[in-house]
Structure 1
Amino acid sequence: MRQYNALINNELIDNGQWLEIMNPATLAVAGKVSALSAEDINKAFAVARSSQQQWEEVSLLDRIAVIKKFRDLIDKNKEEIAQVMSEEIAKNLKESLAEVVRTIEIIDYTFEEAKRMEPLALTGEGMGAKNKLGVFSRVAKGVVLAISPFNYPFNLALAKIIPALVMGNTVVFKPATAGSLVGTYMSKLVIEAGLPKGIFNIVTGRGREIGDIITSNPEIDMISFTGSVGIGNQIRKMGSTTDLVLELGGKDPAIVLDDLNLEKYADEIINGAYGYSGQRCTAVKRVLVNNEIADKLVPILKSKVEALSVGMPSENTFITPVIDEKSADFIQGLIDDAKEKGATIVTGDKREKNLMWPTLIDNVTVDMKVAWEEPFGPVLPVIRIDSYDEMIKIANESQFGLQASVFCQDISKAILTAKKIKTGTVNINSRPQRGPDSFPFLGIKDSGEGVQGIRESLLSMTRYQGMIINY
């Protein structure tokens, strides 16, 4: 059994209390992590605050040099990190390793982008103010609370942590419960890399006991959170004076407007809908298409869905168990509701505990839960709508507004359609996706607040500080 400790002030914490982490593939205990007390949590924030000013005073290039030692240890240990991730969240080994490699690439890009965060210089001439020069530099906000989700426990953790540290902030990091083994694995890397004490602290424990304590600490200057809408909205209420960047849920539509390249459209939709068993905020979660095109598209989707491999992550199958049986019960409830209300199960609807076969549902109507609720699982509903205006209306009626896809060979029509869709991003002739990581990533409505992406994260972790020179 793996056993990893929380990290506070570069000290591994063993208070005798442990939280067990389950392996979704075996439903056995994968390992355990520290279950911290309120006193431990408050200490983590206190040392983050006391270390911040000194860390910010280190030059940018020296900060990068220190963090690069941590980055190099990630590279050295990437296979073991991928193994831990696979055991903890049932992501296949190939995808787990790809996540770690992608994270290293993000770190490298962050180092280079940080060097380009140059001050803004202005004169007052345009407002009639002679002999004034304003220099506005980006400075650290202070103490950043970073909270990551289970589905990308390494990538979405360090995509928050590294920009914060590079720009002179200190960090308290709380991984999701499923994701805590990967999160606390970093503790020994922090110590081995020789990061200064207190700048990167890792806290773990039972959410129901420490969740409010973590998010309401008065030392927090900014919260960067990726996770559920419920918790995100709770953070909104609690952190009214704290800067927030929130990445929440999605109900990303794929709107198919012609039949000129259905094989390509289907490949994008399948990969978008079922990658990591659909446990992605940017997964395709509904297809909006007219009857004539649907009659051609659905059989193509069916053949591709049935070709997806299903099994255990150690076998590098495409579909692996969802995170736990509670999630599987929720997903199954959406499928059953659709069946009861007259939808057609094209393929799938098979389950062994929390291993769910990819399910394709046709003839879904707007009175069915699966048309609106986010399954976070391997389920794809097809909603047949002959009216173009109705497609746009249904796409926009969702409480979510993360991403969407428009499939159409008429680029003018595709662009005009994209402009009508109320989401953070619209992808033309490709699936919704987070990357490239150098692009801004954002959602509106219940999908989030603020903007991520490498440069945008550097901006969100800093604020302007102006200096006016009178001469």
Structure 2
Amino acid sequence: MTQKYVFDRSILKDNIQYVEIKSPIDDSVIGLVPAMTKKDVDSAVWMAKEAFKGWKNVPLNVRADILYKAADILLEHIDRLTDLLMKEVGKDYKSANSEIKRTADFIRFTADTAKSIHGESIQGDTFSGFNKDKFAMVTREPVGVVLAISPFNYPINLATSKIAPALIAGNTVVFKPATIGSLCGMELVKLFQKAGLPEGVLNLVTGKGSEIGDYVVSHTDINFINFTGSTEIGLGISEKVHMVPLLMELGGKDAAIVLKDANLAFAAKNIIAGAFSYSGQRCTAVKRILVVDEVADELIGYLNEEISKLQVGNPLEKQVDVVPLISTKAADFVMELIEDAKEKGAKLIVGGKRQGNLIYPTLFDYVTTDMRVAWEEPFGPVLPILRVNSVDEAIELANRSEYGLQSSVFTENITDAFYVANRLEVGTVQVNNKTERGPDHFPFLGVKKSGIGTQGIRYSIEAMTRVKATVINLNH
């Protein structure tokens, strides 16, 4: 029998203020998290700073064993966590269940990868004027206290993608989940602690970002910030910190470029899956189609066919693809983009309907560059088609965006695929596939306003460590 998530009210204390967490599905209260104060933040950071003194010296194999155990415990609770993901962030069952499994795999791979990261020795005589009497031992050391800030859409996976590499590298962590997603964050911290993490190594900070967000990111004892969220908030963080390394995954306006020789049925299937799964509430969702005009009509036929297969509704009642958006504010914003496109002459192919926070999958044709939906990230189920006359026009339109996370190119010609890929200003180009994150050991990054630094298991570990050189002089 599937285990359901039930909030444990016995943990509540009379002397603490709490924030209600409401489900985006029906606005019901599903739990409470502490509304922490600046004093609470100070305490969490202090605990992390003190715990770092011991944790950094714990042998790597011991840290790895804790991570392996955490992965096992995560899977032991997969049914309850899947249910919580569905209720708290509105995910469908398949996506929620997959997130837990993927997270367990991520934790294990992180521990495995850390064991294979080695230092090096450098001989002095490889540089002019020096000899073998001088050499350097180069090692990697933890940076200290890492602030991990996760978004609502993958509250377990994207939190773990920050926490696990930080811990295995010997850092301690202050973890600030998005307010919607905090219940998942609380459960995640409990599981890591149950796996054997010493006190203070992983510390949870909950509450409204408007009250403690600026304070925690600018705290003087934070040594590294790992953030996933909107470009607006990411820019704000970068303006507030000084001499603190940043690793940030921000917004995107990922384009699917469809050339005239593409397998259109295959392209349509990938594009619709990439655009509308979890209602497009993903940074890597396909957010616009740039298609060569001579095949646009045929592509739209296939797109329509794929959209008709999508299931829309309440994820607690049936398996669905398109779910209610995370908030009324989010739904309002998507409808603004839809209305703007209509007013400026875009052709509505399908959708445009709203029921509460549920917006039906929406496809526009003949979208022009003066329309907001051509440039703004909707984080919702609306997909604009911009027709182009050439490959170079598609590249130019793709690169004109302020974002640079990912793009897809669909073509049967590998030469054309490389031509496009080499000219796109993005972190990743997907050839004949939807834009997506993963596999998790691949590099994942954005350029321009889509991010700073490179994620991916090995890359994240290296980002949250620093190089240290110890120079040995034998001619003393």
TM-score by length of 1: 0.97
What per-residue deviation string (whole Å, max 9, x for no partner) do you get for residues 1-43 of structure 1? Answer: 625899xxxxx98742100111011122121111111111110
In 2 relative to 1, CA 260–37 (structure 1 residues): closer, same or farther, beyond 3 Å?
closer
Q: 2:268 is matched with which residue?
A: 266
CA deviation after TM superposition for structure 1 residue 295, in Å: 1.1
Q: 1:316 is matched with which residue?
A: 319
CA deviation after TM superposition for structure 1 residue 62, in Å: 1.1
What per-residue deviation string (whole Å, max 9, x for no partner) do you get for residues 262-294 of structure 1? Answer: 110111111111111100000111001122110
Q: Indicate whether 1:38 and 2:38 are aligned.
A: yes
Letter matched to residue 35 of structure 1: A
Correspondent of 2:462 among 449, 453, 459: 459
Segments of 5+ residues of structure 1 without an aligned counterpart are: 7-11
Q: 1:444 is matched with which residue?
A: 447
What per-residue deviation string (whole Å, max 9, x for no partner) do you get for residues 234-276 of structure 1? Answer: 1101112110001000000111112441110111111111111
CA deviation after TM superposition for structure 1 residue 188, in Å: 2.9
Correspondent of 1:422 among 413, 422, 425: 425
What is the alpha-carbon distance in structure 1 between the residues aligned to residue 86 and residue 262 of structure 2? 39
What is the alpha-carbon distance in structure 2 between the residues aligned to residue 101 and residue 261 of structure 1? 32
Q: Indicate whether 1:98 and 2:73 are aligned.
A: no
Q: 1:350 is matched with which residue?
A: 353
Q: Is the 8 A contact 2:229 2:251 kept in 1?
A: yes
What is the alpha-carbon distance in structure 2 between the residues aligned to residue 66 and residue 434 of structure 1? 26
Q: Is the 8 A contact 1:15 1:34 kept in 2?
A: no
Correspondent of 2:139 among 109, 118, 137: 137
CA deviation after TM superposition for structure 1 residue 81, in Å: 1.0
Q: Is the 8 A contact 1:187 1:202 kept in 2?
A: yes
What is the alpha-carbon distance in structure 1 between the residues aligned to residue 173 and residue 457 of structure 2? 17
What is the alpha-carbon distance in structure 2 between the residues aligned to residue 110 and residue 194 of structure 1? 17
What SS does the corresponding residue of 1:360 show, helix, strand or coil?
strand
Correspondent of 1:189 among 188, 191, 206: 191
Segments of 5+ residues of structure 2 without an aligned counterpart are: 1-5
Which of 388-397 and 367-376 deviates more? 388-397
What SS does the corresponding residue of 2:287 show, helix, strand or coil?
strand
What SS does the corresponding residue of 1:313 show, helix, strand or coil?
coil
Q: Is the 8 A contact 2:261 2:413 kept in 1?
A: no
Q: 1:294 is matched with which residue?
A: 296
Q: 1:233 is matched with which residue?
A: 235
Q: Is the 8 A contact 2:156 2:188 kept in 1?
A: no
Instruction: Spell out the pairing of 1:30-179 with structure 2 (5 A cutoff).
Output: 30-127=30-127, 128-130=129-131, 131-179=133-181
CA deviation after TM superposition for structure 1 residue 204, in Å: 0.2
Letter matched to residue 353 of structure 1: G
What is the alpha-carbon distance in structure 1 between the residues aligned to residue 13 and residue 456 of structure 2? 32
Correspondent of 2:282 among 261, 266, 280: 280
Letter matched to residue 154 of structure 1: I
What SS does the corresponding residue of 1:144 show, helix, strand or coil?
strand
What SS does the corresponding residue of 1:210 show, helix, strand or coil?
helix
Q: Indicate whether 1:220 and 2:225 are aligned.
A: no
What is the alpha-carbon distance in structure 2 between the residues aligned to residue 162 and residue 340 of structure 1? 47
Which of 181-190 and 79-88 deviates more? 181-190
What is the alpha-carbon distance in structure 2 between the residues aligned to residue 341 and residue 286 of structure 1? 17
What is the alpha-carbon distance in structure 2 between the residues aligned to residue 230 and residue 304 of structure 1? 33
What is the alpha-carbon distance in structure 2 between the residues aligned to residue 153 and residue 13 of structure 1? 25
CA deviation after TM superposition for structure 1 residue 70, in Å: 2.4
Instruction: Spell out the pairing of 1:364-375 with structure 2 (5 A cutoff).
Output: 364-375=367-378
Q: Indicate whether 1:326 and 2:329 are aligned.
A: yes
Q: 1:399 is matched with which residue?
A: 402
Q: Indicate whether 1:20 and 2:20 are aligned.
A: yes
How many residue pairs match? The answer is 466
What is the alpha-carbon distance in structure 2 between the residues aligned to residue 159 and residue 426 of structure 1? 21
What is the alpha-carbon distance in structure 1 between the residues aligned to residue 40 and residue 98 of structure 2? 34
Q: Is the 8 A contact 1:49 1:219 kept in 2?
A: yes
CA deviation after TM superposition for structure 1 residue 206, in Å: 1.4
Which of 404-413 and 23-32 deviates more? 23-32
Q: Is the 8 A contact 1:5 1:33 kept in 2?
A: no
Letter matched to residue 467 of structure 2: Y
What is the alpha-carbon distance in structure 1 between the residues aligned to residue 10 and residue 109 of structure 2? 29
TM-score by length of 2: 0.96
Q: 2:251 is matched with which residue?
A: 249
Q: Is the 8 A contact 1:282 1:433 kept in 2?
A: yes
Q: Indicate whether 1:386 and 2:425 are aligned.
A: no
What SS does the corresponding residue of 2:56 show, helix, strand or coil?
helix
Q: Is the 8 A contact 1:309 1:317 kept in 2?
A: yes
Q: Is the 8 A contact 2:17 2:34 kept in 1?
A: yes
Q: Is the 8 A contact 1:149 1:179 kept in 2?
A: yes
What per-residue deviation string (whole Å, max 9, x for no partner) do you get for residues 64-120 of structure 1? Answer: 123333222112111111111110000011210100100000111111100011012
In 2 relative to 1, CA 190–295 (structure 1 residues): closer, same or farther, beyond 3 Å?
closer
CA deviation after TM superposition for structure 1 residue 132, in Å: 1.3
Q: Is the 8 A contact 2:257 2:394 kept in 1?
A: yes
CA deviation after TM superposition for structure 1 residue 177, in Å: 0.8
What is the alpha-carbon distance in structure 2 between the residues aligned to residue 99 and residue 138 of structure 1? 31
What per-residue deviation string (whole Å, max 9, x for no partner) do you get for residues 313-339 of structure 1? Answer: 121211111101110010011011000
Correspondent of 2:7 among 2, 8, 14: 2
Correspondent of 2:207 among 189, 205, 208: 205
Letter matched to residue 270 of structure 1: I
Moved over 6 A (4+): none
Letter matched to residue 254 of structure 1: A
Q: Is the 8 A contact 2:262 2:410 kept in 1?
A: no
What SS does the corresponding residue of 2:364 show, helix, strand or coil?
strand
Letter matched to residue 169 of structure 1: N
What is the alpha-carbon distance in structure 1 between the residues aligned to residue 337 and residue 150 of structure 2? 26
